[in-house]
Structure 1
Amino acid sequence: MRYSFAQSALPVLFAIGLAFVLQHFVGSLAWAGLLAVITWPLHERLGRRGWPRPLSAVFLVLLLVAAFAGPGFVLVNALSSELAGVQRLLAHLNEAGVPVPAWLERLPMVAEPAVKWWNEHLARPGGISSLVRSIVGDMMPHLTGAARTWGSIILANALYLFLALLTLFMLYLHGPAVVRLMDRAGDRLLPAHYATLRRIFPLSVRGTALGLCSVAILEGIVLGIAYALAGAPAPALLGVITGYLALVPGGAPLSFTMVSLLLLGQGHSGAALGLFSWGAVELFMVDKFIRPKLIGHRVNLPFLAVLFGLLGGVSTLGVIGLFVGPFMMAILFGWLRGGEHAASIHAPERAGAPDTTADL
């Protein structure tokens, strides 16, 4: 009995010690594993078409780098005219001054001090540049320290990114061997549940990636068009920012709310109300129908499970929690549903559909 307990506890203690030693690189390993799981069907497809495994690995790594970095260069070039327009708008407002909006004068209790501050800093010509210089001057000591801190953070993240890409390349090369080792360890540690976990994990990760990316692109395009129709400045730039923020739950409503407040501050109350109303309707449709269906469809998760899995994951683990949360919810509902859930996951095999989770 004592020997059995020590034998079962030893792997757990070793895993805790290993996680402590590799704590600064767990993120790189996790992202490499997630990207490998998401893109593994494409890697297998290239192999079936005669691509050597090293060539397929190099191609997919370069494709992922281009997918993440390429749009940034394209957007900088495409949005240069809008950024120039924003600069011209700020220069015009600085030269002529920004008149006090009518709604500010109607605010209860704070109208008088707010209007006084506005007249002193924004309404007079050159007020914006003076205000910016004052703020920058006061923050310069903090900005200098922040620049040094951010420089070290950028270098560290560059190292983590390089390690993630290197690990991803090695997983492409030796994926089947890595999976065999994981299967052996999983069968020893979780003999009753490992088979179900192994099948749920790829389905959950790929469903989450499909849902997040599709919804982010959709919301960026739809809300970008809404920004243009509402008359917001630089609608394409704001649409791109909204698309990036939409990857995180709560990012899209924050984005269109801030744009609505910007329009309200410019005196376009009707456009601001219309944009906010349309954003709320669009967000309800996306979160209620599109995102849960894309993320939860493959593992048969209900709406609230997907929602709380995303929110809980991102609030505790950051961006990587967007994948961990739905996966843990899938495990929970697998245990609650028992055989019914396992049957639903194994259904594609009985129907004759190919099993895309053979290796990863």
Structure 2
Amino acid sequence: MHASRPEVTRTLLAVMTIALLIVTSLWVLRPFLGALIWATMIVVATWPLMTALQRRLWGKRGLATAVMVGALLLVLFVPLTIAITTVVSNADKVAELVPKLQEATVPEPPSWVSGLPMVGDKIASFWHGVAVNGVAPLLANIKPYAGDALKWLASQAGGLGMVVIQFLLTVAVAGILYSTGETAARGVRGFARRLSGVQGDRVVILAGQAIRGVALGIVVTALVQSTLGGLGLLITGVPFAAVLSAIMFMFCLAQLGPVLVLLPAVGWLFWSGDNTMGSVLLVWTLIVGSLDNFLRPWLIKKGADLPLLLIFSGVIGGLLGFGMIGLFIGPVVLAVTYTLLDAWIGDAWPPEDNATPANDGKQA
């Protein structure tokens, strides 16, 4: 009895020491965790592209890494810089435009608007009210929310420099992971094997597939919708089509859809008196806005062999719980949990022949 006490004490102290080391390490790495998580998601999602690029570049990993890092800079850093510059340079124009909106007039809605299924009467009634009473009452209702939004933007303005630094740090970490990806993957898979054997290795592989599936479904769908939406804006003559397309792409990534940009553009065309182009853009908005209903599920299912409901729950729940990074964290966590539960339950799953009461009655 007395001989076992030192073993229990030593085990407890060892666990406490390991836990303390883990917590301290995470505390030290805390400034880099966001960039590390983002870089890991990006590298896992684009790893097949990097390996294909390496084969085309004479098998040179350094050249492939340089090209991928340059592409990430073009995708992340350059658009961010342009967006910040555009907002700052056009702030005065936006401030001058707000008072003019109160004097603007809106034409009556076309007759076909009321014929739209389900929402036609409500849209026509609201449109008629704005046409009769003007934009001023609408702006008065929006003003409190606009004030809160401006206060939030002002509070976030000081953090723009930190956002740029985080983006650059993400690209730098991604470059390191591109160059040493196999070693990092071997370490993660080895750790998973130490925890739960072959099943742990399978969980890691499935998590990578979930990341690629979500990235393929969300990013490609956002790219297709924003491109088609921007094309519609350009054809119908809406100004600042390129800037609106970029905003549309960000909205699609955030699962808000392109409609938040396209519908105001439709309203602007009708407001300007161009009913023909307004009608064309409205039909195009309905088409582009509904693309994600079948394109995203098909792409996600193609990239990850997981239940579609599981993936969607992870995407939406992760976005609400963790922000943009939750788009990837949510599906990965649910995929790992689902795999572990499936393996655990599967070991004790009853035979199919004996699972129903009917079969039980026959055997009795």
Q: TM-score, normalised by structure 1?
A: 0.66
Q: Distance in 2 between matches of 1:112 and 1:284?
A: 29
Q: Distance in 2 between matches of 1:239 and 1:11?
A: 50
Q: Distance in 1 between matches of 2:230 and 2:135?
A: 35
Counterpart among 53, 56, 63 of residue 64 in structure 2: 56
Equivalent residue, structure 2, for 1:175: 181
Shift of 1:327: 1.8
Pair 1:293-2:301 in alignment: no
More displaced stretch, 291-300 vs 249-258: 249-258
The answer (yes or no) to whether the contact 1:228–1:235 under 8 Å persists in 2 is yes
Tell me: CA distance 1:6–1:188, structure 2 relative to 1, closer, same or farther (3 Å): farther
Tell me: CA distance 1:283–1:9, structure 2 relative to 1, closer, same or farther (3 Å): farther
Tell me: CA distance 1:310–1:264, structure 2 relative to 1, closer, same or farther (3 Å): farther
Shift of 1:330: 2.4
Q: What secondary structure, in the 3-state scheme, does the structure 2 residue paired with 1:319 have?
A: coil
The answer (yes or no) to whether the contact 1:102–1:267 under 8 Å persists in 2 is no
Q: Distance in 2 between matches of 1:215 and 1:284?
A: 11
Equivalent residue, structure 1, for 2:218: 212
Shift of 1:61: 1.1
Higher-Rg member (1/2): 2
The answer (yes or no) to whether the contact 1:292–1:302 under 8 Å persists in 2 is no
Shift of 1:31: 1.5
Tell me: CA distance 1:179–1:71, structure 2 relative to 1, closer, same or farther (3 Å): same
Shift of 1:37: 1.6
Counterpart among 28, 35, 49 of residue 35 in structure 2: 28
Equivalent residue, structure 2, for 1:160: 166
The answer (yes or no) to whether the contact 1:299–1:330 under 8 Å persists in 2 is no
Pair 1:309-2:314 in alignment: yes
Q: Which amino acid aligns with 1:66?
A: L
Equivalent residue, structure 1, for 2:255: 249
Cα deviation, 1:311-347, whole Å, max 9, x if unaligned, reads 1111121211111122223224434544999xxxxxx
Pair 1:334-2:342 in alignment: no
Tell me: CA distance 1:338–1:275, structure 2 relative to 1, closer, same or farther (3 Å): farther
Tell me: CA distance 1:340–1:38, structure 2 relative to 1, closer, same or farther (3 Å): farther
Shift of 1:179: 2.8
The answer (yes or no) to whether the contact 2:227–2:245 under 8 Å persists in 1 is yes
Q: Distance in 2 between matches of 1:28 and 1:299?
A: 24
Q: Distance in 1 between matches of 2:77 and 2:206?
A: 31
Pair 1:284-2:322 in alignment: no
Tell me: CA distance 1:175–1:250, structure 2 relative to 1, closer, same or farther (3 Å): same
Shift of 1:151: 5.5
Cα deviation, 1:118-157, whole Å, max 9, x if unaligned, reads 7xx9xxxxxxxxxxxxx9xxx9xx88x976x556412222
The answer (yes or no) to whether the contact 2:105–2:271 under 8 Å persists in 1 is no
Equivalent residue, structure 1, for 2:201: 195
Q: What secondary structure, in the 3-state scheme, does the structure 2 residue paired with 1:310 have?
A: helix
Shift of 1:219: 0.6
Cα deviation, 1:158-185, whole Å, max 9, x if unaligned, reads 3222322222222233333333333333
Counterpart among 29, 40, 44 of residue 47 in structure 2: 40
Name the % identity. Answer: 23
Tell me: CA distance 1:249–1:25, structure 2 relative to 1, closer, same or farther (3 Å): same
Equivalent residue, structure 2, for 1:124: none
Equivalent residue, structure 2, for 1:66: 74
Residues matched between the structures, number:
309
Q: Distance in 1 between matches of 2:153 and 2:291?
A: 40
Shift of 1:28: 0.6
Q: What secondary structure, in the 3-state scheme, does the structure 2 residue paired with 1:251 have?
A: coil
More displaced stretch, 21-30 vs 268-277: 268-277
Equivalent residue, structure 2, for 1:352: none
Shift of 1:192: 5.9
Cα deviation, 1:241-283, whole Å, max 9, x if unaligned, reads 2223211212323223333444455566786676456534443
Tell me: CA distance 1:327–1:23, structure 2 relative to 1, closer, same or farther (3 Å): same
Q: Distance in 1 between matches of 2:20 and 2:315?
A: 29
Gaps of 5+ in 2: 1-6, 110-122, 347-364
Tell me: CA distance 1:221–1:161, structure 2 relative to 1, closer, same or farther (3 Å): closer
Counterpart among 213, 216, 230 of residue 224 in structure 1: 230
C-alpha RMSD over aligned residues:
4.6
